[in-house]
Amino acid sequence: MLSWEELIVRCTNCKLCSLGNTRKNIVIGRGNQKAPLMLIGEGPGEQEDLQGLPFVGSAGKLLDLLLDALPIRKGDYYIANIVKCRPPGNRVPLEEEAEKCLPFLRNQVSLIRPKIIVCLGATAMKYIIDRNAKITQIRGQWVERKGFWIMPTFHPAALLRDESKKVLMWEDFKKVKQKLEELCQK
Ligand code: URA
């Protein structure tokens, strides 16, 4: 397992897939590196690529609103993505890109040791929970695996396209907050 310092150096120099040729900045993650909750999205968009931070564009703003409203405090979470470089045109990362990048994410999970992982959207769900599942079918249901409580829910960008998902995502995050309180009291 790499230390945070080693991980940052390896990611910054990474050319394991072709996304390394087009990125402006590597997007490793942000938040508390000892957080009980880890949120995982798909991959950086334009703003994330420019700033080198995850979820700082329009989907990120919506996610911040949701977390502030619950509330889930900034110190309680760390946020990252399945891939650390922006796929051109914001396309879904290819399997080979995700596979090359996942060991870095697993290393982050091992360093952070969160109690809860939230998969934001179908891509995170696919690589973390089940390659064949459908997000609309499994969202909102806890998966307990390897000592982690994993919650699949929608990607915040999906709410920008379909308002009706807001209530469902709110319900999912209420469960996350409740579990966080339960687990952190112990
Ligand atoms: N969408 C993602 O999945 N991740 C980001 O960091 C931004 C938008």
Digit-coded pLDDT (tens) for 11-30: 999 999 999 999 999 999 99
How confident is the model at residue 72, as a pLDDT? 97
- According to the model, what pLDDT value does residue 137 have? 97
Give 56's pLDDT tier (boundaries 50, 70, 90): very high
Q: Average pLDDT of the chain?
A: 97
- Whether 186 has a pLDDT exceeding 80, the answer reads no
Q: Is this structure's pTM higher than 0.85?
A: yes
Instruction: Calculate the alpha carbon distances from 25 to 3, 40, 74, 108, 111 in Å.
Output: 20, 18, 23, 18, 22
Q: What is the reported pLDDT for 185?
A: 83
Residue 29 beta carbon below 6 angstroms from any ligand 1 atom: no
Distance 32 CA to ligand 1 centre (A): 18
**What confidence category does residue 31 fall into, taking pLDDT thresholds of 50, 70 and 90?**
very high
- State the architecture of 4-185 in CATH terms: 3-Layer(aba) Sandwich (3.40)
The percentage of the chain sitting over the pLDDT mark of 70, rounded to a whole number, equals 99
Helix (H) or strand (E) holding 44: none
SS3 state of residue 27: coil
49 close to ligand 1 (CB < 6 Angstrom) = no
Atom of ligand 1 nearest to the CA of 156: 1
- Decide: 54 in ligand 1 pocket, CB within 6 A: yes
**pLDDT for residue 139 is more than 70:** yes
Angle (nearest 5°) at CA 23 between 120 and 134: 25
Q: Which long-range contacts (CB under 8 A, 24 or more apart) does 66-71 make?
A: 66/156, 66/169, 66/170, 66/173, 67/173, 70/173, 70/174, 70/177
Q: How many helices (H) and strands (E) does the chain have?
A: 9, 6
